[in-house]
Amino acid sequence: MKEKNKFISAFEQFGRSFLLPVSVLPGAGIIQGIGTAFTNENTLKMFPFLNNAVFQFVMKFFIALGGTAFSNLPVIFAVGVSVGLAKREKGSAALSGLLGFLVLHNVLNFLLKISGRLVNTANLSSGAAKLALSNAMQTKVLGIQTMDLSVFGGIIVGVSVYFIHKWAVKQELPTMIGFFSGPRFVPIVTMVAMSFVAIAIFFIWPTIQAGISAVSILVLKSGPIGTFLYGLIERALLPFGLHHGLNWPVRTTELGGSWTIGGNHVVGTVNAYLASLADSSIKSIDPSITRFNGGKFVYFMFGLSGAAYAMYKTASPEKRKVAGSLLFAAAGTSFLTGITEPIEFTFLFVAPMLYAVHAVLAGSALFVMHMLGAGVATPTGHGFINLVIYGVLQGPKTHWWLVFLVGIPYFFLYYYVFKFMILKFNFKTPGREDTDEVKLASKQEARGKYGLKIQNVGQAAPQDTAPTPEKSEGKELSKQEKTHQQALGLIAAHGGPENIVDVNACITRLRIDVKDKSLVDKDTIVNQYEALGFAENGMQMQSIYGAYANVLKMEIQDILGLEE
């Protein structure tokens, strides 16, 4: 069991390391999406006044600006994964990630030249050069002609730098060269180590590439059944925090598929989707690109809203008003932004059977949208806001209306299935509890119910020294003051500064590593300091705060004097 937990923890950490580099994608994608929306032919036909030189210049500038991130994903991943995995001295890790990436591709370029395998594109046209490079599994990265490792190159560098950094940052060199000890030693070791990694990749990558291509073809040939299984498995992994490790390789590497778009070889579903939006010659986006993506709009926006309504309607009459305020707030968050944890973990806790049905329905939503030829997707966040940006504004090529045509029936499907099961099996959803308390379940409770072993937490140190966000001698607090007060309270609720080892955050969770978990007061964290949920992973305490998690992380780090 211990080895299993270690594996799950390591896989979760690896998946979380993707969050820093991919956090660039939504912003870059929105900028590029707005640019492509207002330069495509359909939009200009509908609104001719947009076809003026100044406005079109700005929109094309947006496309170039947003495209910068997607054109350089490998180096972004190299730096981002290095930083995401490093526990300390993250600046040294970032520099080493960039340096390691440059060493990797320059050494590969050198080895290709020496071996006579470097493709000569000097006398070829742009299109012919791209084709020649693609056939030889080569590409240009930051102006360096090298082997085409796609985003895998960045991930390999990031993971390699993690192990190098973990060892080298602790090394103390002899006094004469002591200046180079610690974080300064990491880039030096990285240069040497990555040269050997590059040599290994030069010999083994063609075989690995052939294997990845075979898996990619298998995934694409699996058709709608493969789409259904992906949706089911992805939801099944969510309670364990392992879904990131499945999602991002599919979205950014050849494991999600490869396509030729506009004469360019494109890998990963997100890259292919944005390239398709930018290509005016494409009148309808290939549903094989959006198969793992489009159906999520259906159950994020409509399905979970139907589930929330079913739980509201089955609540006891005297508790319905309170239950409704909680459930509809959670459903609204899912509908607008695509943050589903508050609603999903609630019925996961009270009835794993409901969550199992949800996983099947989620897979079926992806299946149906794939069968209907939906071509709408988003880098992340399958809510209404992103549907408008990446779907509606992109015109008919995305078939965005299918989200509503399929979503509305799914609202009722979820509603009637959940209502039947709640009443049939007497599940204690919000408003049906045997106690007077009406609440959404925390993530810790849900994960424990779902089968992960989670220790009980005891009481924290006394809280009288930890002010609540509202307390300030009767004065109204500013937003910054409230954040500071909340951070102080969370420090106390985690056993005080002496009990805190590390503070970090992902997109929605504040993650605090502690020495003694029995000092952590999870009830205070949830009830007094407004966490949407709470979970443990070993000695790491995870509090769900949505996008606010990163703000709290930085405030706590400042108070404790912790470095990134």
The residues that are catalytic are: 506
Alpha carbons within 13 angstroms on the beta-carbon side of residue 166 total: 11
Six-digit token string for 53: 């030189």
Strand partners, 510: 505, 543
Which one-letter DSSP state was computed for residue 134? H
Which one-letter DSSP state was computed for residue 87? S
Distances (CA, A) of 498 to 41, 434, 501, 561: 61, 39, 8, 12
How far apart, in whole angstroms, are the C-alpha atoms of residue 258 and residue 136?
A: 15
- Residue bearing tokens 């947006």: 62
Six-digit token string for 314: 């089955």
Helix (H, G, I), strand (E, B) or coil at 515: coil
Q: Helix-strand-coil percent breakdown of the chain, rounded to 5?
A: 65, 5, 25
How far apart, in whole angstroms, are the C-alpha atoms of residue 52 and residue 76?
A: 35
Cβ–Cβ under 8 Å, residues 74 and 154: yes
Residue 63 parent element (H or E): helix 53-71
How far apart, in whole angstroms, are the C-alpha atoms of residue 548 and residue 563?
A: 19
Cβ–Cβ under 8 Å, residues 35 and 66: yes
SS (H, E, C) 173-205: CCHHHHHHCHHHHHHHHHHHHHHHHHHHHHHHH
